[in-house]
Each structure stands twice: as structure tokens, then as C-alpha cells.
Amino acid sequence: MTRRVGLIGKPLKRRHSQVMHDAAFDAAGIDARYVLLELEPEAVEDAVRQARGPDWLGLGVTAPYKRLVAGLCDEVEADAETIGAVNNVARTASGGLLGFNTDAPGFQAGVELAMGRPLAGATVVVAGAGGAAHAVVFACLRAGARQVTVGNRTLSSATALLERLVDVGTGSRSAVALADPAFETALRSADLAVNATTVGMVDPGATIPVDVLPPTATVFDLVYVPSETPLLKAARERGLRAANGSEMLIQQAAIAFERWTGVAGMADVMREAVAPLLADVAARA
């Protein structure tokens, strides 16, 4: 019996996850396939119900269904509850569904590789307060960041994010509007600046003025399509460490794969498999 993992979302414009996981299944000798399930909202509940069957290993979940699927699971892990989003579901041996989140550990693995140092003790500035930003800020605080500043167009959303994560970590934290001079002030002493918005992918421009960052700072853009956003281009021109979200994508996928199969260490296989897709994006950018 060929088993399956299904990615639920709408729209599903990219095959990156499918290519990575199918390569990992092949490398591990596991008879399974990763399938794309682009669904209307009314079809999600039935798809989740079907994933309780023995031919399923679990589900991946992307926008806009992370909260909806969380409510359909039998159990949601504490980290995912705190972040407020489930991006993967594992089927248990008894057919139960366990929701979890790999965005936070995937981000930590990817960003620490880009920084060349741990997040512990770092001063971090994050642009954005949506679902991706929740995972980013959670990861930074849990890893022991010394200071986290969240900037957002709407101050109330940044404030709400930090209120949700009030019990995570011991580092100091603050919320500011992107237009507030305090955002630029925070950037002047940042070890890490993160774009967790769609600016650079959906919207033009950049959220972070890289000219005010110290020369030792790292710039991390969660966007990986295009592979070089205006933000990353400006950061590299200044000689700063800079990376897009492709490594986060790979690391979180490897974590999920291990949860579904028990097989660890597939990041290198996934990185090699997805490289042509990422290179094609770069060539067309």
C-alpha cells in the first residue's frame, strides 16, 4: 500500500514541498507519496477526515487553512497552540490526528545557519505580525533572544502578537509601528533583522532600511520566491550576511518528514532535490 501525505491549501502554486518529500521517501525506501490538495473551504473537513485512514501518514497545511485544520485535530501540541497555527498533522497508530508546527524550529535552524551563531543572546527586529511572524518571534524568544522588537504597519497587531507570546522566553520585547522612528532605532543595534511580511513577493519594495543596520547584522527574508528580494539585494550590496527563506523551507520539511516516518537527516536530500526549482526561480527573477 502506497501511503500518502497531503498538502492542504489554496492556492497551491508551487511544487517545492512535493519535490522535497518525494525525494526523501525514495531515499529512505518508503513507499509513500506527497500529494497536493488544493481545496475549497467546504472540502477541508472531509479531507482531514480521510487522513485518519491507514493509507495516510499525515498532512501538511498552508494558507489559509492553518487555523481551520487545528480545530479538526484530536490534539494540538503546545507550541502550535501558543503560535496559533498548525502547519502539519501526524496520523497516530490509532487513527488520531496530532497537529504540530514546524515553522518555528525550521526558522531557527535556517536563521542560525545564516547568522553563523545561535539565536541565544541576540537582538532581533522582526517586520510583520501575521502567522509567519508568530512562528519567528516564538522561535527567537524560546531560543533565548535578548531583545525582540516587532514592527508592523498596524501597531495593535504587533502588540497582540507579543501578548500571545507573553510566557515564552525571558528576553525583553517591544511592539512598534513600522513608520515609528523607534523601529529604525531598534534596527541600529540589531544582530538579526527579519522580514516576515509578503513585501518583496506580493508587494514591491522592502520593509527594512538596511542602511541603518550595523555591519555585523544578518538580514533574513522569509520570502524565497523571488530568490533575491530588493531587501536581500540591498543587504548584500552593503556587505551584510543575508539569506532568503529557502533553508527554512528545507529544514521545516525535514522536521515534518521525521515526525511522519521516524527517519531523520533528510535535509541534504531535500536541499538537492529542490535546488533545480529554486535555481529556475532565480533565473527567471
**Residue in 10, 13, 66, 233 annotated catalytic:** 66
Asked if residues 21 and 252 have their Cβ atoms less than 8 Å apart, the reply is no
Name the DSSP letter for residue 144.
T
Asked if residues 63 and 130 have their Cβ atoms less than 8 Å apart, the reply is no
How far apart CA 191 and CA 218 sit, in angstroms, is 6
The residue type of 163 is E
Q: Does the annotation count 13 as an active-site position?
A: no
The upper half-sphere exposure of residue 179, i.e. CA atoms within 13 Å in the direction of its Cβ, equals 3
Query: What's the N-to-C CA distance of the chain in angstroms?
Result: 41
Using a 10 angstrom Cβ sphere, with 0-12 exposed, 13-18 middle and 19 or more buried, the burial of residue 111 is buried
Phi, psi of 238 (to 5 degrees): -85, -5
In the numeric block, which cell numbers belong to residue 117?
551563531
- Angle 52-87-144 from CA coordinates, rounded to 5°: 135
Taking residue 28's Cβ as centre, other Cβ atoms within 10 Å add up to: 16
**Residues forming the active site:** 66
